[in-house]
Amino acid sequence: MSKAIIGRKVGMTQIFAEDGKVIPVTVVEAGPCPVVQVKTVETDGYAALKLGFLEAKEKSLNKPQLGQFRKAGVKPCKYLKEVRGMEGYSVGDELKADVFAAGDKVDVSGVSKGHGFTGVIKKWNQHRLKETHGVGPVHREPGSMGSISDPSRVFKHKHLAGQWGVENVTIQNLEVVRVDVARNCILIKGAIPGPKGSVVTLKSSVKSK
């Protein structure tokens, strides 16, 4: 059975292993996530749990959103997400950080940091144009767009300037180093997507080695 939980990225720090090695970790405030709805194959066509995260004020939600929380008898939440493969839970149950244990492999999904409109050098790591005479007046442009008469167009997927970041990113096979049940925190080895304070989803790794 797979496991999953919604969390919030707190930031990065480091801890020391028993052999003295330094382990860089990302701290994730995981849950508590109440079960708002249990979907089944008979009623919905597929099995899933709808989890909530971070309490919200009623005035910030509309009537349809409030209706599902009142039906479930759960306090309104700011975020809702469906997760599949989890069984044995009923409406009203709370998932906390102890869903995972140290040594588990997880896939972490989140929205990457936004860098705004950037050029090809910053976004795609391209080289500058030559600084010799005759190349200017700019030296950070993308360069040649293609041939003149054939095919007389710019090929798709050419690296050009544009928006960088704010994309759904998943990093696979990250290791859970430590679980702090008292503080409801999970320490994950390495970096995860998104800035501090962003919402992330932790799931059991689908390609664990």
CA distance 167 to 111: 5
Token output for 23: 């382990």
Domain residue extents for the chain: 4-113+167-204, 115-164
- pLDDT tens for the 209 residues of the chain, in order: 788 999 999 999 999 988 889 999 999 999 798 999 888 888 888 888 899 998 888 888 889 888 988 888 888 899 999 888 888 888 888 888 889 998 899 999 999 999 999 999 999 999 988 888 888 788 888 878 877 788 888 888 889 999 999 999 999 999 999 999 889 999 999 999 999 999 999 999 998 76
CA distance 127 to 123: 11
Enter the CATH code of domain 4-113+167-204. Answer: 2.40.30.10
Quickly name the fold that domain 115-164 has.
Ribosomal protein L3; domain 3 (4.10.960)
Q: Which residues lie below 8 Å from residue 2, measured CB to CB, with a gap of 6+?
A: 84, 85, 86, 203, 204
Rounded to two decimals, what is the model's pTM?
Answer: 0.82
